Amino acid sequence: MSGSAKAFQLIDVEWPDFGSAERPPAVAASELEERLAALRAGMAREGLTHAVVYADREHFANMSYLTNFDPRFEEAVLIVKSTGSPLLVVGNECEGYLGVSPLYTTGKLRAERFQPFSLLNQPRDASRKIRDIFASEAIGAGAKVGCVGWKYFADSEHPDGAHAIDLPSYLADTLRDLAGRDTVVNATALMMHPGHGLRAQCSASEIAYFEYTNILASDGMKRMLFELRPGMTDTELGSRVGYNGEPLSCHMTLVTEANRNLGLSGPVGARINLGSPLATNIAYWGSNICRAGWVARSADDLVPAARDYVEAFAGPYFAAMAEWFGLLRIGTPGGKLAALIAEKLPFDRFGIFLNPGHLIHLDEWLSSPIYPGSDIPLRSGMAIQVDIIPSSPVYFSTRMEDGVVLADAALRRSLQTLYPACFARCQKRREFMIDVLGIDLPQEVLPLSNMPAIVAPFFLRPNQIFAVR
């Protein structure tokens, strides 16, 4: 469908060293102010007087994007009015963490303690009720409140999607009691919709941070693969990641023959044997690096039924992914990428159930413009997870799950000016994918991973990888 189909082959190469990255500086208060201004513009388009952004440890990304504050242990709420400084409502323990927000330290973000956001049986005697806090922010008759949780709902998913609120009921009920049910609506799409959500397009500073975490994750994955040996335990293998304390966006998975039917399982203490399947990932904020294949040196180490793994499964996957990359152009409708994968990797053979690619941000899955029939165009600034997951009872799986960003000429210039080392590494990865792997990579694609599109079918021979010609 892309007009650039090529045949796969196996080549032997040393993995390039693309270099490491220093952790970029924290986002500036000025950029956070711009993000809040963009949210207020969206609120105005929707006729909203307030946005109430909910966060907890699992669902932190919208709040962190707007303030650089992510709640630890507790819940939190950000109240944004059409004018004035926002109010961040936190529990007991998060008060001491407020300084992580440049808005707070520069006096552009107010804060208040609401102790029921704290863990059970902690002190509860020194804060106002949430109703009083909301009311003091002018949430009442005449207000129209947009609730930002972590999901929005089409009418096909809920009989009244606009009023399906995914905040805890004690918050949603209070808002409805103050402002009226009809004027409290789900506004999560303002942040997370793949076509127009604020987080669906990244700035240069976000790209630099996501490249940093992709490097951490991919370098950890490389260590795992190159140090893998039959007889070691899965927990020993997992320790090779070299975790440095950067926040994780999801649990590490590590699946071998022992837990093969538990796809989201982490290490279970099992010994890894020759001929075992292996799938594992490491995911920091803005990154998720995953590889799947076999603990083998060649097809001879596999069970007889799977010995045509390269020819029948992993090779066709790589060839299809090379075409998929060719479609990563600004303006391409997401449905075109979905149609390519459905045609080249039919479900009855490859079992691909989830979207063939999605957006990634601080959270591992933001949303996706890539689904059957999608007319949502790919846009500059989209951080895209190369997350196409084949599955087979015979061949297990294969994977090249990395992060890329689409960047038009203006965004590329901004990245090169502000983060020249990051930009240079992205260009080196592009050259490798084009010159060594044979992938026709559009100019707007910036690979963030230090193992870009590297797929070794047999993990005990990691320098034998796929290419297309």
Is 271 a residue whose pLDDT tops 90?
yes
* Residue owning tokens 């009083």: 132
pLDDT above 90: percentage of residues in the chain: 99
User: What end-to-end distance do the CA atoms of the chain give, in Å?
Assistant: 17
Q: Cβ distance 282 to 251 under 8 Å? A: no
What's the confidence (pLDDT) of residue 431?
A: 98
pLDDT above 70: percentage of residues in the chain: 99
- Tell me: the pLDDT tens digits for 449-469? 999 999 999 999 999 999 999
| Residues found in the chain | 469
**CB under 8 Å, gap of 24 or more: what pairs does 137-142 form?**
137/50, 137/79, 137/81, 137/87, 138/49, 138/50, 138/81, 139/50, 139/52, 139/79, 139/175, 139/178, 139/179, 140/178, 140/179, 141/179, 141/180, 142/49
- Tell me: the pLDDT tens digits for 281-303? 999 999 999 999 999 999 999 99
Task: Select from 38, 34, 49, 64 the least CA-distant residue to 146.
Answer: 49
Q: Cβ distance 15 to 225 under 8 Å? A: no
d(C-alpha 275, C-alpha 303), whole Å? 7
CATH architecture of 49-186: 3-Layer(aba) Sandwich (3.40)
Strand order in the sheet with 145-148: 110-113, 87-90, 76-81, 50-55, 145-148, 184-186
Radius of gyration, alpha carbons of the chain: 23
Task: Select from 459, 456, 458 the least CA-distant residue to 467.
Answer: 456
Task: Select from 114, 28, 125, 120 the least CA-distant residue to 79.
Answer: 114
Six-digit token string for 408: 């038009």
Query: Cα torsion for 149, 155, 160, 166, to the nearest 10°?
Result: -20
User: According to DSSP H, which parts of 154-200 are helical?
Assistant: 169-179, 189-192
Is 4 a residue whose pLDDT tops 80?
no
- Tell me: the pLDDT tens digits for 378-423? 999 999 999 999 999 999 999 999 999 999 999 999 999 999 999 9
DSSP 405: E
* Structural domain spans, the chain: 8-24+199-468, 49-186
Strand order in the sheet with 289-294: 254-255, 277-282, 289-294
CA 411 vs CA 15, 449, 455: distances in Å: 28, 19, 29
What's the predicted TM-score (pTM) here?
0.97
By three-state DSSP, how is residue 233 classified? strand
Q: Cβ distance 324 to 388 under 8 Å? A: yes
CATH architecture of 8-24+199-468: Alpha-Beta Complex (3.90)
- Tell me: the pLDDT tens digits for 54-108? 999 999 999 999 999 999 999 999 999 999 999 999 999 999 999 999 999 999 9
What's the confidence (pLDDT) of residue 284?
A: 98
DSSP 444: T
Helix H or strand E encompassing 130: helix 130-136
Name the pLDDT band for 1 (thresholds 50, 70, 90): very low
Task: Select from 60, 391, 64 the least CA-distant residue to 250.
Answer: 60
Q: Cβ distance 340 to 324 under 8 Å? A: yes
Q: Cβ distance 395 to 309 under 8 Å? A: yes
Task: Select from 255, 392, 242, 310 the least CA-distant residue to 7.
Answer: 310
Q: What is the mean pLDDT of the chain?
A: 97
What's the confidence (pLDDT) of residue 5?
A: 86
Q: Cβ distance 363 to 402 under 8 Å? A: no
Other residues' Cβ atoms within 10 Å of the Cβ of residue 157:
10
- Tell me: the pLDDT tens digits for 301-346? 999 999 999 999 999 999 999 999 999 999 999 999 999 999 999 9
How many C-alpha atoms does 307 have within 13 Å on its Cβ side? 7
Using the Cα atoms of residue 239, residue 243, residue 245 and residue 248 in order, give the sign of their dihedral.
negative
* Residue owning tokens 């975490």: 213
- The per-residue DSSP string of 283-330 comes to -BTT--EEEEEES-SSGGGS-GGGTTHIIIIIHHHHHHHHHHHHT--T
